[in-house]
Amino acid sequence: MSAQDVLIRIQATPNPAAWKFVLDRPVLTEGKATYSNTEEASANHLAEGLFQVSAVKQVHFFQNVITVTHAFDAEPEEIQQGVCAVIQSRMALHNPNQTPVDEKKIKRQNQSPEIQQIEEILDRTVRPGLQGDGGDIEVVSYENNKLTVFYQGACGTCPSATTGTLMAIEGILRDQFNPQIEVTPL
């Protein structure tokens, strides 16, 4: 298939400043990748090109989905057209295998049993919904019943991430892990 053959479906996310671009082929065959600037994306020409679109703030790759988070005051049509143009022009040279195996899985092996249990609960209950909306959540730390998390992709600047979603995550973890846990975003 040539780059011109890339089929792209654009979907809204719960975050008014993020769009999902669902492709007919993988952008990442394993794991996920989040880039917050051109420097982080320098080894990935597709991601790097997406930062050339005006107002793009973050790029998140997961399976066959690219989630682009942009400035709140950006014009949606301009973002969508720019992102589609970059995908069409750079997809032929993109290697979905180039990103290393998801570092989180390797990192989990060395985490405390408590964090491993929290990760398992999040994998089962929370992450599927967040990933379906073009985002994800990363556990940063857990100390003294306080869990710090970092939202990725569309979740990073979503207004509900710090309210309803956060309360839901805390409720699930209180029910399934520790009734005293407090969850705060980074």
pLDDT tens-digit profile of 46-57?
A: 999 999 999 999
Query: Residue 1 pLDDT more than 50?
Result: no
**pLDDT at residue 3 greater than cutoff 60:** no
Q: Are β-strands 146-153 and 182-185 bridged in parallel, bridged antiparallel, or unpaired?
A: parallel
**How many degrees, rounded to 5, is the angle at CA 170 between CA 104 and CA 22?**
50
Taking residues 72-96, what's their average pLDDT? Answer: 94
The answer to whether residue 22 scores a pLDDT higher than 90 is: yes
Instruction: Identify any residues that bridge with 150 across adjacent strands, giving them in sequence order.
Output: 138
% of residues, the chain, pLDDT over 90: 64
Helix (H) or strand (E) holding 122: helix 113-125
Asked whether residue 104 carries a pLDDT value surpassing 60, the answer given is no
> Could you read off the pLDDT of 137-177 as tens digits, one per residue?
989 999 999 999 999 888 888 888 878 899 999 999 999 99
The answer on pLDDT for 99 being more than 60 is no
Domains and CATH numbers, the chain: 3-93 (3.30.1370.70), 103-185 (3.30.300.130)
DSSP 71-97: -TTS-HHHHHHHHHHHHHHHGGG--TT
